[in-house]
Amino acid sequence: MQNSYLASKPRYEILDGLRGVAAVVILVYHLFEACGIVLGHAYLGVDFFFALSGFVIGYAYDDRWDRMSVGNFFKRRLVRLHPMLIMGTTVGFLLYYFGKCEAFPYIGQWPWWWVVLMYLYTCLMLPMARSWDMRGWDDTNSFNGSTWSLQWEYIANILYALVLRFLPKAALIALTAVAAMGTIDITFNLDMLGLLEGRFGAPHSVNGGWNLSSHELYVGAVRLMYPFLMGLLLSRLKATLKVRGAFALCSLLVAVMMLWPVMEGTLNGIYEAACILLLIPAIVAIGAGSTVSGKRTKSLCKFLGEISYPLYITHLPLIYMQLAWMSNNPDATTGEAIMVAVAVFVLSIGLAYASLKLYDLPVREWLTEHWLKGKKAKNS
């Protein structure tokens, strides 16, 4: 029985759409950031992704372990996540040398064979050591910094399969409460474990988690654990809320949450803690408990959901090109900068959609037929 293929369950349309909304806001945030303008708390979109992941993983797999092995679970997750990870890294690799500028001081300082070796290495979802940095931004993937959150996503999947799926509800509640203390530790800058000194992000903020320093590893782990555990808990408890106009309401909440200006000190910590501990779970609960009506809204949710992951994982190499252009053209007019930003926005959406239709879906279909289903499924 454990070798038989399990078909996918029906999807939560609103949650799919909200994932796309968050991905688009992150894209817009990076477009403005490349122009020297910081738009609020767009990095909270990653915490939102982790919460969505926890909920969807619980919904999709909690009741299937009598028919599915750990190995089969990992195969399914690899098929879902890894093809686009390779695509995003490949785009960054192909554009790598075109990004040479003052903003990326390490480009051109490594021999070509090392660049190729690091490309193959990062395609395996392995994090780069800080001393291997080839861009100057201290990321775990010099070709595509967005993959840092996918590395944590992989860790969450491993923890779920090996530990979290066995936990009773009471234990999961207790673990979620402990994880919440980590969020409070960072957002209120308590530093109870002495791991926050010297971190990249400002105090009272979860912004960080993308390299292998001890403080960034701590921030990344904390950012993963509470949202993922809370999403999983919401799924286990079937804690959902039905609200009229849920997609419009939740889209507005996600956009406002991510675009709200960064504040000073403790006030910013209170805001981020409230968003992560309370608002994000509420949005997930509403999105899961509500339905969409109308063909246009359904189509919009479907489109946004389909391009959300391709957009998130492929847009940053294009942002690198925008930033390189800005760095190499310091006298560019505002109009020229806007034109470049609009072009990068359109290219990012186009690349995400093309990657989905021409690469991701065909590759996943092939892997499903030849790797997941296997000979037994074909002969049954």
Q: Is residue 160 part of a domain?
A: yes
Domain residues for the domain of 285 are 13-379
Q: Which of 223, 226, 233, 179 is nearest to 62 (CA)?
A: 233
How far apart, in whole angstroms, are the C-alpha atoms of residue 351 and residue 90? Answer: 13
Contact 302, 19 (CB under 8 A): no
Whether 24 and 304 have beta carbons less than 8 Å apart is answered as: yes
Per-residue pLDDT of the chain (380 residues; tens, 9 = 90+): 344 456 677 889 999 999 999 999 999 999 999 998 988 999 999 999 999 999 999 999 999 999 999 999 999 999 999 999 999 999 999 999 999 999 999 999 999 999 999 999 999 999 999 999 999 999 999 999 999 999 999 999 999 999 999 999 999 999 999 999 999 999 999 999 998 887 766 789 999 999 999 999 999 999 999 999 999 999 999 999 999 999 999 999 999 999 999 999 999 999 999 999 999 999 999 999 999 988 999 999 999 999 999 999 999 999 999 999 999 999 999 999 999 999 999 999 999 999 999 999 999 999 999 998 875 444 33
* Residue 348 falls inside a structural domain: yes
Beta bridge partners of 101: 104
Identify the sign of the CA torsion 35, 38, 41, 46.
positive
1 assigned to some structural domain? no
Question: Which amino acid makes up residue 21?
Answer: V
Q: With contact defined as beta carbons under 8 Å apart, do 71 and 173 qualify?
A: no
Total count of domains within the chain: 1
**Cβ 258 vs Cβ 252: under 8 Å:** no
Query: Quick one: how far is CA 280 from the chain centroid?
Result: 14
Domain assignment present for 7: no
Name the CA dihedral angle for 319, 364, 295, 14, rounded to a multiple of 10 degrees.
Answer: -70
Residue 10: alpha-carbon gap to chain centroid: 22
Question: Does some domain include residue 143?
Answer: yes
